[in-house]
Structure 1
Amino acid sequence: MDMVWGDPNCTGHFCFKLQANKEAMNRITHYLPLIFFIFLIIGLFTFLDNEESDLRSVLLDKNFPDFSLSKLENQEIVTKNDLVELPSLLNVWATWCIACRVEHPFLMRLRNESTINIYGLNYKDDRSKAINLLDQIGDPYEFSIFDHEGILAIDLGVYGAPETFLIDKSGIIRVRHVGVLTPEVWEEKFNGVLNNLKEDEK
């Protein structure tokens, strides 16, 4: 075929090139929504990463917020003053949180090695389901604070689970980690700070 369809006056090599260019433009136009979507996703992840970095630093070197909530286990009211034997960890968890199951063995290891006291913040959960889960898989916490409405979580800037906070002996938040607490994360973010805090106590 030596002419562009719809144009009887166009023949020869030039028309083949014109037709090829039109086909190329059609292909590009066809993929434009996909290209736009890819750039949108990249931009979104960049924005979320920046937001996460901001959230991690919101309460660093600031006092742990006051609260008055019940324990998960027996509905006894607890406050910030009940977080004794500082420094300690506060770990945000829930039964609906799959990632919390991933980090659970490491939390049990920290407890069994008596590395540090760990307190739980049970976040927007069902009380009976949470108690049953800990009975089944083991309880790494001194106790868990039951935050059904997310009241303390809001004050901490928590927007999901798991999250982990390192609190020093003065009740100051020294480290915040958003996501699964792994041995690698522990060594990178927590262990050095914890050792320094223990040295300061001597």
Structure 2
Amino acid sequence: MAKIRPLMVLPPVIFLGLAALFYFGMQREDPDQLPSALSGKQAPPVVITQLGDLPGFDDATLRDGQIKLVNFWASWCAPCRVEHPNLSALSEQEGVPIYGVNYKDKPENALGFLAELGNPYAATGADSQGRMAINWGLYGVPETYVIDGEGRVLLRFAGPVTQRVIREQIAPLIEGAKGGS
């Protein structure tokens, strides 16, 4: 009778383990979207400094009874430039306030970005050291969070907000919140 050696069993065991990881990884609802540990939980604290003479916001703003978006952005971020018209349209058409968090940027560059493209934000502030971003689990900019009236995170979207994202993910949450009001 042949003796089974551990090295003979190892490759099939590794293969089965990787196959299981692949299978269960593909079962996620949206494989392109990164998971968020914040979904359904209270939004972390707002830790920003004033950006120029623009109005700022704080924790109480996130718990004012209204649905809103928090958008992390930067002037040096090309996808932020791409999503900007969509944020402006969303703010105007839906009347949903968007709060901007300028991430690791020079204030003069951030203010120039808003002067050039327009300011879709109800209020904004700077996170020059990235401390708020760390608390929120930011992977990179742009990143947008939909926050309910009690300050709970309903959705975290990593990447530029497109018309498709608005139509398929953000607008249903807004409509649901309006229906519940």
Scaled by the length of structure 1, the TM-score of the pair is 0.69
Counterpart position of 1:71: 50
Matches within 5 A, 1:1-202: 53=33, 55-74=34-53, 78-83=57-62, 84=64, 86-201=66-181
* Residues 85 and 138 of structure 1: CA distance in aligned 2, closer, same or farther (over 3 Å): farther
Q: In structure 1, list runs of 5 or more residues that go unmatched.
A: 1-42
Instruction: Note if contact 1:166-1:176 (Cα within 8 Å) is conserved in structure 2.
Output: yes
Which letter maps to 2:59? K
State the Cα distance separating 1:51 from its structure 2 match. Answer: 9.9
Change (3 A) 1:114 1:71: farther
Q: CA deviation at 1:132?
A: 1.4
Q: Is the 8 A contact 2:46 2:132 kept in 1?
A: yes
Secondary structure of the structure 2 residue equivalent to 1:186 = helix
- Once the two structures are superposed, residues 128-174 of structure 1 have per-residue CA deviations (whole angstroms, 9 ceiling, x without a partner) of 11011101110000121200001110011002101110000000000
Give 2:53's aligned amino acid.
N
Higher RCO structure, 1 or 2 (CA under 8 Å, sep 6+): 2
Q: 1:56 is paired with a residue of what secondary structure?
A: coil
CA contact (8 A) 2:74 2:102 kept: yes
RMSD: 2.5
The CA distance in 2 between the partners of 1:76 and 1:110, in whole Å, is 20
Quick check: 2:71–2:145 contact (8 Å CA) kept in 1?
yes
Structure 2: 5+ residue runs without aligned partners?
A: 1-21
Further displaced range: 101-110 or 63-72: 63-72
Please say if residues 56 and 124 of structure 2, whose CA atoms lie closer than 8 Å, have aligned partners that are also in contact.
no
What are the superposed Cα offsets for residues 86-145 of structure 1, whole Å, 9 maximum, x if unpaired? 210011100110000111111111122243111101011111110111011100001212
Given that residues 57 and 176 in structure 1 are in contact (C-alpha distance below 8 angstroms), is that contact kept between their aligned partners in structure 2? yes
Distance 2:113 2:54 in 1: 17
Distance 1:109-1:183 versus aligned 2 partners, 3 A rule: same
- The answer to whether the 8 Å contact 1:89/1:118 transfers is yes
Among the aligned pairs, what percent are the same residue? 34
Deviations 1:63-97 (A, max 9, x none): 01113322213387742113446210011100110
TM-score (norm 2): 0.76
Hey, which of these two has a bigger chunk of helix by percent? 1
Which residue type is aligned with residue 107 of structure 1?
Answer: L
Contact 1:147 1:153 in 2 (8 A): yes
